[in-house]
Amino acid sequence: MKICIASDHRGYGLKDELFKYFNDKYDITDLGTYSNDMVDYTKYGFLVGEKVRDKEYDFGIVVCGTGIGISIACNKVKGIRCAKVNSVDDAVLTRKDNDANVIALDGKLDRNEAIEMVESFINTEFSYIERYLKRIEDIAKYEKGEYIDD
């Protein structure tokens, strides 16, 4: 499994801790930022989104001050379903029900809590339940500009 991770300056500390932790467990690549110097989260959200969209990585992890801004940026990349999660349950459900391919985290999260969320996200399979498949297909159609009809 290949994973990429990135953050802005406010998510740098947690991103760095997650990278160090998962580096021994998975094939993970740190795409930046590499310090606490101010940067825009958009650059890193787009970058992770593009890498996952292009199938260079199976999953992405993004971190910013709240996880919200970077998730919005990441979701602008067609084919990306990035979910900002607040709990392990959120991480499990976004994989199981939404087949999310990027997880967004709040940079202020406790390291162990964040690790548990990422582990749950990575190790949860999509359910392939028909109603969830339809919703994902609807998103893909909408991204292509196609009309969605029930």
- pLDDT 10s digits, 95-144: 999 999 999 999 999 999 999 999 999 999 999 999 999 999 999 999 99
DSSP 6-64: EE-TTTHHHHHHHHHHHTTTSEEEE-S--SSS---HHHHHHHHHHHHHTTS-SEEEEEE
CA separation for the pair 81, 105 (Å, rounded): 14
Q: Could you tell me the two tokens for 90? A: 């959120």
State how far the Cα of 87 lies from the Cα of 130, in Å rounded to an integer.
25
Strand order in the sheet with 102-106: 27-30, 2-7, 59-64, 102-106, 82-84
What are the tens digits of pLDDT across the range 24-37? Answer: 999 999 999 999 99
Q: Is the dihedral of CA 63, 64, 65, 66 positive or negative?
A: negative
pTM for this model (two decimals): 0.96
What domains are there in the chain, each with its CATH number? 2-143 (3.40.1400.10)
Predicted confidence (pLDDT) per residue in 45-88, tens digit: 999 999 999 999 999 999 999 999 999 999 999 999 999 999 99
**pLDDT over 90 at 22, yes or no:** yes
Question: Cis ω on the peptide bond leading into residue 33 (within 30° of 0)?
Answer: yes
Structure tokens at 6: 């990135």
